[in-house]
Amino acid sequence: MFAKRPSRRSVLKVVHWSMVPLMIWFVLVTPEVALNFGGRTAFLVHSNVALLFVTICLLWTADYWRRGLASRPGPKLTGWARVFHQAVHKTIIWGLFGVALTGFLLGLTSHKLLKAGGFLPIAPPLNWAHANDIIGKIHIFEFYLLGLIILAHASFHIWRHVKLRDNALRIMVPRWFHRWL
């Protein structure tokens, strides 16, 4: 009668692989690029993509707060690799939350009401120009730093798969890629 709920791992795979194109999008397309490319319409598309990104970030963080990490490091990981595995996953989750938080703070310190997706008010504007500048720099820095951490994360799991032969990639890669792994 009722459809079976997908497993936590299945949901995390969708979340994980949804974040990849979103991260690439935000590395390549800044609000200024969107405005220059297609004006207001392109900026609204960019804003809606940002709303989707933040929603996923907050849901992922809430899941982590409620249930912790979805998996353990695995039996072949020892020493530094075991510590790195835990640290990098937690850093990414907290980093995504930080990006969402500083985005909120940008709206809070803005001189006008900002709306995510063009319809959802982010925060009441307090018109704190100096704080807005500082938070804007932090927001940009933390996003690109998070991008580097995500590259380290991907490199680590590729290293695991190739060097340790522990099939680390098979855990999170969609099944139709398994024939090449």
Could you give the number of structural domains in the chain? 1
Asked if residue 20 has pLDDT above 70, the reply is: yes
Q: Which residue range(s) make up the domain with 120?
A: 8-175
Is 95 inside a domain boundary? yes
| Mean per-residue pLDDT over the chain, rounded | 92
Is 27 inside a domain boundary? yes
Please tell me the distance from the alpha carbon of residue 59 to that of residue 11, in angstroms, as a whole number.
11
Name the pLDDT band for 1 (thresholds 50, 70, 90): low
Is 180 inside a domain boundary? no
Is 108 inside a domain boundary? yes
The better pLDDT of the pair 173, 19 is held by 19
Q: SS3 for 115? A: strand
pLDDT digits (tens, 9 = 90+) for 80-107: 999 999 999 999 999 999 999 999 999 9
Is 148 inside a domain boundary? yes
Is 152 inside a domain boundary? yes
Please tell me the distance from the alpha carbon of residue 136 to that of residue 132, in angstroms, as a whole number.
6
pTM score, two decimals? Answer: 0.89
